[in-house]
Amino acid sequence: MKNPLSQRRLNPNGFGSDNFFMKIIAISGSSRDKKTNMMIELALKEQSNFEIIKLKDLEIKPCTNCKSCHQTYKCVINDQMQDLYPKLVEADLIILASPTYFDNVSGIMKNFMDRCLPFYFSGQLAQEKVALLTIGGFKEYIEYDDLGNCKWCLENNACQNSVDQCMQTMENFCRLLNLSIIGKVSAIHGDPLEKEKELKELGEKINVFRPAKKKK
């Protein structure tokens, strides 16, 4: 099945001065087209070849723990996750981006992670390069002191701790699949622009990144 709902910016002439074509796929776990996707766009601002997969637009069913993939390395559920498996394998760089829900990734991102179980047994994504993005919200509920400081941050660093826990979930996912993390950025208070510098630096790191040729 061809997915018409993903966002693409593809340059047919390839990427880089040496006409190198680098495949970048960004997986967005946002249920809205707002802050999380803005972080992806900021990180890939200088890129001409990438594809953003919005999980909210796809039919991806939960893992049923049928254990078929333990031996076959393939998932038996016939839905749009089947479109993503080859994209993940073929990608030179994967970006995982999620808003923070209850100190964790969003439900649709966790569902996506669970459905990546075949890669745990096959090792097919081992050493694949990945970048991680997360953002915390509740901006409209934050209480500020007279100096404009967030009270939650001053009391127990709650805002940063929350996105850190979300980031830890994504790091654990990468560890289990033996993915290689090249960078990570987390933002708080629903404000991607507060981390614009870090996102730009991540983009620069992606700019100079040249993956090894994949085995056929």
Amino acid 119: pLDDT: 96
Q: What is the pTM of this model?
A: 0.83
Angle between helices 35-43 and 196-208 (to 10 degrees): 40
Amino acid 168: pLDDT: 95
CA distance 159 to 191: 12
Domains in the chain (CATH in brackets) are: 22-207 (3.40.50.360)
> CA 75, 78, 79, 83 torsion: positive or negative?
positive
Long-range contact pairs involving 105-110 (C-beta distance under 8 Å, separation at least 24): 105/29, 105/134, 105/166, 105/169, 105/170, 106/29, 106/30, 106/31, 108/29, 108/31, 108/55, 108/56, 108/60, 109/27, 109/29, 109/55, 110/169
Write out pLDDT tens, residues 121-159. Answer: 999 999 999 999 999 866 555 666 666 666 556 566 667
- Residues (pLDDT < 50) of the chain are 1-5, 10-19, 215-216
Q: What percent of the chain has pLDDT over 70?
A: 75
Neighbours of 25 (CB within 10 A): 19
Amino acid 207: pLDDT: 80
Write out pLDDT tens, residues 165-184. Answer: 999 999 999 999 999 999 99
